[in-house]
Amino acid sequence: MALFILSALGLLLLAYSGICLFYWVFQEKFIFVRFTLPERFNFNFAQPFEELRMERPDGAVLHALHFTVPKPEGAVLYLHGNTGSLRRWGKRAPRFTTLRHAVLMPDYRGYGKSSGRLSEAALHADALAWFDRLAELYGEGNVVIYGRSLGSGMAVPIAAARSPRSLILESPYASFLDVARHYLAILPYRWLLKYRFRSDVAIKGVKCPVFIFHGKRDPLVPYSSALRLYASIPVEVHRELVTFSKGYHSDLAGYPRFRKKLRTILTMDRGPAPAR
């Protein structure tokens, strides 16, 4: 009997170790669900846009869409979620362009037409470089940073390093550890996870107004993580948490309250952005 128990425990330990090893090797495929696009792919959107490219020091070539508007009253750096490419995310641009805000949407490394080796440090540096490029066009104080889900982990450090007009986070997390544990709590993510995205730490350096949208029924990013992120914002900073009691992860924009609040945020304290 004792031998059977020891054998069973040994098999369980072996299986658990195998799962840990599998996650360590393939975690990027779970975190970054990348859809590539051929270089010749032509985007088709109703509003005017241009394709931008940026070469990075490590040889990566990044791609973004810049949606323009006449007489812009600001600009939005939109950092999208973990699935798809700009072929999908570009459809979100009218939320901002109808409010006379230009939009810059970059694809991360390996997404769409962007290339390059992934790492958390590289993703942070890329996002900061895109912000600086947008700030050159419209002025740093006229740029709103918008982080959607995964993108919130890159949006918060930019807001801490620069001086944007405001920071908007849709379905964000305090730390990516919260998201990983929400999926499968039994794995030792403190040792396995290569991507931490510690927004709860970075947000302590943010000085601009912060607005968080989150659904209580979000099955991907726990609402408790958004609460912890909200609590980490310095008390002297204007902060708002807009909660949707029946909201999930990707349906918040369907609520009239979401659209009304977004309009209020984008129209508050704004002035004409400089001409390009």
Report the chain's mean pLDDT, rounded to a whole number.
91
Q: Give the mean pLDDT of 43-62.
A: 95
Give yes or no: residues 143 and 192 share one domain: yes
Give yes or no: residues 115 and 168 share one domain: yes
Residue 134, in any domain of the structure: yes
Give yes or no: residues 7 and 38 share one domain: no
CA neighbor of 129 nearest in space, from 69, 223, 55: 55
Residue 276, in any domain of the structure: no
> Token digits for 153?
């982990």
DSSP letters for 132-169: HHHHHHH-GGGEEEEEEGGGHHHHHHHHHHS--SEEEE
Please give the helix or strand (H or E) that residue 125 lies within, else none. helix 120-138
Structural domain of 11: 1-31
7-11, 159-163, 179-183, range with the lowest pLDDT: 7-11
> Token digits for 28?
């990027």
149-163, 185-199, 226-240, 258-272, range with the lowest pLDDT: 258-272
Q: How many CB atoms lie within 10 A of CB 268?
A: 10
**198 vs 11, residue with greater confidence:** 198
β-partners of residue 51 are: 65
Give yes or no: residues 67 and 171 share one domain: yes
φ and ψ at 118, to 5 degrees?
A: -80, 140
Give yes or no: residues 14 and 55 share one domain: no
How many domains in the chain? 2
Give yes or no: residues 129 and 236 share one domain: yes
Contact 74, 270 (CB under 8 A): yes
Distance CA 159, CA 264 (A): 20
Give yes or no: residues 235 and 206 share one domain: yes
pLDDT by residue (tens digit) across 2-30? 665 655 556 666 667 677 677 777 888 88
Give yes or no: residues 21 and 81 share one domain: no
CA neighbor of 147 nearest in space, from 108, 204, 205: 108
Beta-carbon contacts of residue 258 (< 8 Å; ≥ 6 apart): 213, 242, 244, 252
Instruction: Write down the pLDDT at residue 275.
Output: 47
Give yes or no: residues 41 and 19 share one domain: no
The one-letter code for the residue type at 264 is T
pLDDT of residue 50 exceeding 50, the answer is yes
Give yes or no: residues 140 and 261 share one domain: yes
pLDDT by residue (tens digit) across 82-128? 999 999 999 999 999 999 999 999 999 999 999 999 999 999 999 99
Side by side, the strands of the sheet bearing 49-55 are 49-55, 61-67, 102-107, 75-79, 143-148, 166-170, 210-215, 239-244
180-189, 201-210, 232-241, 243-252, range with the lowest pLDDT: 180-189
Residue 273, in any domain of the structure: no
Q: How buried is residue 55: exposed, middle or buried, by Cβ count under 10 Å (0-12/13-18/19+)?
A: exposed
**Can you give the CATH number for the domain in which 176 is found?**
3.40.50.1820
Q: How many CB atoms lie within 10 A of CB 124?
A: 18
**183 vs 264, residue with greater confidence:** 264
pLDDT by residue (tens digit) across 212-251? 999 999 999 999 999 999 999 999 999 999 999 999 999 9
Q: Residue length, the chain?
A: 276
Note if the pTM is more than 0.85. yes
